[in-house]
Structure 1
Amino acid sequence: MNRVLSQRSFLFWICVILAFCIVPFGSVYAQDGGGLPALNISTGADGETTYSLSLQILALMTVLTILPSFLLGVTAFTRIIIVLSILRQALGTQQTPPNQVLLSIALFLTFYVMAPTFEDIYNNAISPYLAGDLPPVAAIEGAAGILSEFLVVNTREAELAMFAEMAGDEPYASNEDVPYTVLLPAFITSELKTAFQIGFLLFLPFLVIDLVIASILMSLGMMMLSPMLVALPFKLLLFVLVDGWAMTIGSIASTYVI
């Protein structure tokens, strides 16, 4: 029972459930003669119930507030944006590409990586729910299970075992048994570790160029000339010759098990 409650405690799904629960509560309160204007409802001639605009905005804003955490916590966005930021620092191009461009690249690449998972959630949970074939709880549990499978297969076993041990859980028999309270911090920690490992490998060739340029300038006695300034065009040349952007973005995408 505790395991099931832990699965449902995932922040995104709890907020969605609360958004759906507020509506029936408002209906009952309004029928009982309550005086909350935000929860007023009206019934049309065909029996269709329409809720007040204020309640719709409340439910919408509740969902929107957790979207950044959802994007950062349960998708590939964290790994991608960290690698791209380290790459920009290794190139030494200061604010080029600008933050907006890096965020756009990371966002669209996240959509590319997560597209099979999102499509699976839509086909097996959202679409049946909208068609009336699944109740809300079953649809939420189905979507959470699909997302959980993606998180588990892309989380390192060491991080997963560490958080499971700290939570006092025994080794899990299957991926479905891993609660979100353990899975989410393990996934984030695993993403950070992988991102910094990729960033380290990206940094090495540019560091070699910096060392070579600095040694040459020292041997020529050009103490006042900045090695970073001289090394920048060589870094850019190397990055362009090896088709660095396509190689980097393709390598990041290929690190995920979809």
Structure 2
Amino acid sequence: MTLSALLLLVPAAAFAARDLAVPSLSLALGAGQSEPENVSVLLEILFLLTILSLAPAIMLTVTSFTRIIIVFSFVRQALGTQQLPPSQVLASLAIFMTFVIMRPVGVAINDNALQPYLSEEIGFTEALDKAQQPLREFMFKHTREKDLSLFYSISKMERPKTKEEVPTIMLAAAYVISELKTGFTIGFLIYVPFLIIDMVVSSILLAMGMMMLPPMMVSMPFKLLLFVLVDGWSLLTGSLVNSFLL
């Protein structure tokens, strides 16, 4: 009985489908609008899409992320815990710390450039110039003159007389080099105490004749104990944040 009912409903549904209005879509080619206003808007949209696609690279280069992730990697190697904490956890913590450190820069960009531009108080070019100023001040504060001079020597460009004459791309490259040096310096200072523990444990095991016992296996609990007793993560996080506020 059920099968007979279904066979009767199929032709009825097909007949009803004939009365449905099927939407249609038509495409047409025509001359584009070449007004300067339209071209300017299209260029602005293209620029914004480019910025969004380069956002990860920008975050890795012109913010505090580089120094933080390098120091975290040194700490993990010094503790000898292999993959603990996981790389994803360290990267997430570095990102959140970057947001906290870069918050004043982001607020300045929003107040001086983004909001006036959205309110149509300033043009796109002026907004772009004002957005660069807080970021340039931050990079200038943590960039060594030696690193900036290196890139000018490589590019054989004329030395600038003022900070305003330094291109942002040149400043960003010098800033990354300075951050790498600073991160490695902090990592070395953190590595020294743990290295001393490894040397002491290795000497004790050698004196006891336990040459077959890996020193790292014995020293790791002592290094973890020392790191926990001094509240290492809190101390390290506070020191890194303060290094950008000096």
- Give TM class, smaller chain: 0.7 to 0.9
Residues 1:244 and 2:241 aligned together: no
- Partner in structure 1 of residue 30 of structure 2: 33
> What displacement does 1:192 show?
0.5
- Distance in 1, matches of 2:74 and 2:235, equals 15
- 1:121 counterpart (92, 98, 109): 109
Residues 1:67 and 2:64 aligned together: no
Q: Give 3-state SS (helix, strand or coil) of 2:156's partner.
A: coil
| Identical aligned residues as a percent | 49
Cα RMSD over matched residues?
2.5
- 1:143 counterpart (111, 116, 131): 131
Q: Give 3-state SS (helix, strand or coil) of 2:161's partner.
A: coil
Contact 1:154–1:257 at 8 Å: present in 2 too?
Answer: no
- Distance in 2, matches of 1:172 and 1:235, equals 49
- Which shows bigger deviation, 200-209 or 147-156? 147-156
Task: Kindly provide the CA deviation profile for residues 107-126 of structure 1, in whole angstroms up to 9, marking residues without a partner as x.
Answer: 00111111111111101000
- Partner in structure 2 of residue 197 of structure 1: 185
The residue correspondences of 1:38-187 to structure 2 (distance < 5 A) are: 62-187=50-175
TM-score (norm 2): 0.79
- Partner in structure 2 of residue 13 of structure 1: none
- Partner in structure 1 of residue 218 of structure 2: 230
Task: Kindly provide the CA deviation profile for residues 8-58 of structure 1, in whole angstroms up to 9, marking residues without a partner as x.
Answer: xxxxxxxxxxxxxxxxxxxxxxx98149xxx9xxxxxxxxxxx9xxxx8x8
Task: Kindly provide the CA deviation profile for residues 48-99 of structure 1, in whole angstroms up to 9, marking residues without a partner as x.
Answer: xxx9xxxx8x887644321111111111111110110111000001111001
- Distance in 2, matches of 1:59 and 1:149, equals 23
TM-score (norm 1): 0.75
From the superposition, tell whether residues 60 and 128 of structure 1 become closer, same or farther in structure 2 (CA, over 3 Å).
closer
- Partner in structure 1 of residue 194 of structure 2: 206
From the superposition, tell whether residues 168 and 72 of structure 1 become closer, same or farther in structure 2 (CA, over 3 Å).
same
Question: Higher Cα Rg: structure 1 or 2?
Answer: 2
From the superposition, tell whether residues 106 and 94 of structure 1 become closer, same or farther in structure 2 (CA, over 3 Å).
same
Contact 1:149–1:176 at 8 Å: present in 2 too?
Answer: no
> What displacement does 1:171 show?
4.1
From the superposition, tell whether residues 61 and 134 of structure 1 become closer, same or farther in structure 2 (CA, over 3 Å).
closer
> What displacement does 1:220 show?
0.7
> What displacement does 1:257 show?
4.3
Task: Kindly provide the CA deviation profile for residues 194-241 of structure 1, in whole angstroms up to 9, marking residues without a partner as x.
Answer: 110000000000000000000111111111211101101100111111
How many residue pairs get aligned? The number is 210
- Partner in structure 1 of residue 38 of structure 2: none
- Distance in 2, matches of 1:146 and 1:208, equals 42
- Distance in 2, matches of 1:59 and 1:32, equals 26
- Partner in structure 2 of residue 28 of structure 1: none
- Distance in 1, matches of 2:100 and 2:161, equals 31
- Distance in 1, matches of 2:215 and 2:241, equals 33
> What displacement does 1:170 show?
4.2
2:113 corresponds to which letter in structure 1? A
- Distance in 2, matches of 1:257 and 1:179, equals 24
1:220 corresponds to which letter in structure 2? M
